Amino acid sequence: MGDASKELQENRPIIYVTGFGPFDSHPVNASQIAVEKLVKQNLESDLGVKLVTEIVKVEYEYVKKTVPQRWKELKPKLVVHVGVSGMAETLTLEQLAHNHEYTRSDNCGCLPNQGSCCPDGDPVLKSGIRMDLISSKLNKMIHLKLSCAKSTDPGRFLCDFIYYLSLNEDRIRAAFIHVPPLSKFSAQDISASIAAAIKEMYAQVLELENEEQKEV
């Protein structure tokens, strides 16, 4: 990832997107490859934003340190985390994240303290972004190769964990997308669908911002 201060100096709203590196049965992580290809999806020119992408380690402590730091440095308008699921057949938009019951060891063989993301936090955090609306819109886009679905089960591993951390920072500006492995779809097709979802998410964030300003 580029220097945070340099990104801020460009004075454009920032969309921060992460993918995960290799783990277990995914020596090549589809989320990493698809996120790396987002630069070719014209998000910056189409939305008037600065796209910042980063591939994060599949480690609880690394994620717990990195995510709050990025929120502070970048002050992003939208944060979208992307992860792979071997069971996914679609682009899967996660609506919520869980705080407790993390029992699967990370790449370092470690677990989070007390098996929790934020021990004193709420059991579940829900994104203010309407994933059902985005799923409906994407499924009408005939140029996309992946269908899209909403989910409420991110899986109690690093995907769930990183999502909870971001929702704990800002529930209106955080989202998580599960993608299928590269054996099911090409990285280019996955990336195109992620970009379409990001555009819809960003539109919702701007709409929610406008509503909040009217209430002030």
Separation between Cα atoms, residue 216 and residue 211, nearest integer Å: 9
Closest to 182 in 3D by CA, of 24, 32, 54 = 32
Query: Region 172-193: what's the mean pLDDT?
Result: 97
* Domain-wise residue ranges, the chain: 4-215
Grade residue 216 by pLDDT with cuts at 50, 70 and 90: low
Query: Region 94-114: what's the mean pLDDT?
Result: 97
Query: Residue 152 pLDDT > 70, yes or no?
Result: yes
pTM of the full predicted structure? 0.93
Q: Which of 26, 81, 98, 178 is catalytic?
A: 178
Q: Which of 94, 98, 117, 148 is catalytic?
A: 94
Closest to 78 in 3D by CA, of 176, 180, 212 = 176
Is residue 50 helix, strand or coil? Answer: strand
Separation between Cα atoms, residue 1 and residue 11, nearest integer Å: 17
Catalytic (active site) residue 209: no
Cβ contact 85:180 at 8 Å: yes
Query: Residue 9 pLDDT > 50, yes or no?
Result: no
Closest to 195 in 3D by CA, of 141, 133, 153, 126 = 141
Q: Which of 26, 59, 159, 200 is catalytic?
A: 159
Separation between Cα atoms, residue 176 and residue 97, nearest integer Å: 9
Cβ contact 97:154 at 8 Å: yes
Give me the pLDDT at residue 1, please.
53
Catalytic (active site) residue 159: yes
Q: Which CATH number fits domain 4-215: 3.40.630.20, 2.40.128.20, 3.30.1330.10, 3.40.640.10?
A: 3.40.630.20
Query: Residue 45 pLDDT > 70, yes or no?
Result: yes
Grade residue 5 by pLDDT with cuts at 50, 70 and 90: very low
Query: Residue 165 pLDDT > 50, yes or no?
Result: yes
